[in-house]
Amino acid sequence: MKYLFKLFIILLAFTWCVTSLAQQKGDNSMSEVSPILGPVNQDLQLAAIWDVEFNYDATVITLAAGNAGAVYIPTLNKFWTSRWATGVAHQWNANGTLDVQFTLPFTGTRGMCFDGQFVYHSINTTAVQIVDPVTRLLVGTIPVVAAPNGARFITYNPDGNSGAGSIIVGNWIAPNLNFYEFSLTGTLLRTIASTVTGVYGLAYDNWSVGGPFLWVWSQGLGAGQPQLIQQMDYTAGTYTGVTHDVKSDVGIGQPTSGIAGGLFITDQLIPGEVTLGGLLQGTPDLLFGYELATISSGNTFFDDFEAYVAGQQLACQNPIDWTTWSNAPCGSEDAFISSLHAYSGTKSAVIAPNNDLVKLFGSKTTGIWYISFWVYIPAGKSGYFNTMNGFTPNPFQWGMEVYFDLGGAGRLVNAATTAFTWTPDTWQFVQVVVDLALDQAQFWFNGSMVNSWQWTRGNPGSYALRLDANDFFGATANDEMYFDDYRFSDTPIPVELTSFTAIDNNGAVELNWTTATETNNQMFEIQRQSSGSEFTTIGFVNGHGTTTETQQYNYVDRTVSTGIYSYRLKQVDFDGSYEYSDVVEVDVQAPLEFALDQNYPNPFNPSTSIKYSVPETGNVRLAVFNLIGEEVAVLVNGTVQAGQYEVSFNASSLPSGVYLYKLQSANSVEVKKMMLLK
């Protein structure tokens, strides 16, 4: 026995050493790790935007590790993720919940990209697989035999091949670490030299200023080490020095694991933003997305000022979108970017005395136009802006002027004068609506309409039926006005649903949802679906009309039995238009009741277990008595949340016999017998 014990100790020590070493290397048994790893140059590291927009636990959502590839498909408003070692893939809802698991007609997807119609899969071979995202069927392949080691990573370039589109692929097998660009029929168009080892993710970016770029995600020195996304100038084929370590924020909960997976990029997931996302392999796998840049799309212009350098002038940095009254960016009229106050992010634009910043609209003569921004004015300061029917080269015409006077008094001047109030040291929302079809305008402040008037009535006389510009002017020596999240669009601010959850609450389903903004929101129609049935309407909740304040909503469905249910919201505007939310699912269990179970085992010696349940939170006491009514033990005494519980009773100090145990709350009492037999 002595020798067996020594052998056991030796094996235990060996196991501890192996486990310790594995932990030092990172727990990535399900991750695909490059055989060649190396340091990434961080000497020129610069800051991009890199706000984490979402970070979902893919191991929990997909019920297993081994996830590697990721892509967002705007036509479905869904994510796809893939397992690198099998054909298993998952379709996610945009809110980070699982939609469906499916099996691809091939195995080994490491990277994915989307061209607007199809999803392209790199599977570590010389044939890229093309899948229809609707049917999930294979519709073709692209031969990439000119890439010496095939395609492990992939991205789509919509500008490639003279606008016909191209794919860029590569692998981490040395010495061929280059990137290879192919037409969609497999013709090699270009070889982009690279010496970075361990590359797993690639994304083509034609949104960021100064681009186009390639974002290259490498596994660096391995698990637990920095996992840097690097920026490459696509045209020059050289790295710019802009990098970001995914481990520093997304992977902060993976101290010894976390290694690069696939990348994707899209401007369709979050309005006004470019999202750079990917799959961080590790414990757990993480599906994440960063705000890479803000954009203007279609007839919408948006600027949150995060892309600029604080302490430098706005129009000087972006003379395409901003100018000054005298069309002199970089001069004394140009406003500065400030990091002192911000509604979102870290920066805003500030209007100081004699600044005269202008946003030109391009002489709009038709349509309905929405101008909005957040404004902040410190105590003891004032501010001003106007909206113009006419600006150079047209005759100057001030359609409306807004004065934020000292102390919190405000004036809307549009031939007449309408008073309103504002609050110093507080971010407040400004919106101007100009309907050129009806010749009407509205000024809204902090969710309330100040006035509505005929846009062309002028001050004085009749002005042109036209919308030319916004002007932000430091009119007095006291002016100091910060503004942020500026938006100009022919569409109103949408009803922005930021969360929607369903939980089982003691046999009923509690729905909770939150909106960040609402426009013309009449109501939410609550719809429910049970297994094998269609969605049916079960209730209504009124909306808040038009507001930029966060709104919380709640609805409780008490008409359910046990089973799995799906819920969605139908958001209805006052004009009858509507849209659906994502679907949430809940498993309804039998409702809780006040109950005391028979102890087990019974008879017992010397310990037994007692289970009980309470349907609501409150004070609960569970005690044990002998047959003459003496209290011999107190097992529970205090506030207990609604739920099911189990406690252990040790009677080693008591004599054999029959005992009573009593469960008591404010409204109920239950007593049972048990026998101690020594």
Average pLDDT over residues 74-95: 94
pLDDT digits (tens, 9 = 90+) for 390-415: 998 888 999 999 999 999 999 999 98
Sheet hosting strand 51-57, strand order edge to edge: 51-57, 286-294, 273-280, 263-266
Q: What Cα–Cα distance (Å) separates residue 23 from each residue in 20, 42, 144, 256, 257?
A: 5, 26, 38, 6, 8
Q: Could you read off the pLDDT of 423-452 as tens digits, one per residue? A: 999 999 898 999 998 899 999 888 778 999
Q: Write the class of the CATH domain 496-588.
A: mainly beta
Q: Do domains 51-291 and 301-489 have the same CATH topology?
A: no
Beta bridge partners of 531: none
Separation of alpha carbons 60 and 120, rounded Å: 26
Class of domain 595-676: mainly beta
CB 662 within 8 A of CB 623: yes
The CATH architecture of the domain made up of 51-291 is 7 Propeller (2.130)
Decide yes or no: CATH 3.90.420.10 for domain 301-489. Answer: no
Identify the band that residue 267 occupies on the pLDDT scale cut at 50, 70 and 90.
Answer: confident
Q: Answer yes or no: are the C-beta atoms of 294 and 272 closer than 8 Å.
A: yes
The answer to whether residue 18 scores a pLDDT higher than 50 is no
pLDDT value at residue 29: 54
When the pLDDT of each residue in the chain is averaged and rounded to a whole number, the result is 88
Distance CA 471, CA 251 (A): 44
Digit-coded pLDDT (tens) for 162-203:
888 999 999 998 888 999 999 999 999 999 999 999 999 999
User: How many helical (H) and strand (E) elements, i.e. helices and strands, does the chain have?
Assistant: 3, 49
Task: Say how far apart CA 465 and CA 104 lie, in whole Å.
Answer: 57
- The per-residue pLDDT for range 277-329, each reduced to its tens digit, is 999 999 999 999 998 876 654 578 889 999 999 999 999 999 989 999 999 99
pLDDT tens per residue across span 446-485:
877 899 999 998 666 688 999 999 999 999 999 999 999 8
What whole-number distance in Å separates Cα of residue 313 and Cα of residue 336?
Answer: 4
Q: Are 320 and 303 in contact, with CB atoms under 8 Å apart?
A: no
User: Is pLDDT larger for residue 14 or for residue 304?
Assistant: 304
Mean pLDDT of 652-656: 94
Side-chain half-sphere exposure of 462, counting CA atoms within 13 A: 2
Nearest-5° Cα angle at 124, 269 to 28: 75
Q: What is the pLDDT of residue 33?
A: 67
How do strand 496-505 and strand 166-170 relate by DSSP bridges?
unpaired
pLDDT of 35 above 70: no
DSSP string for residues in 170-212: E---TT---EEEEETTS-EEEEE----SSEEEEEEESSSTT--
Global pTM? 0.48
- Extract the tokens encoding 187: 């013709």
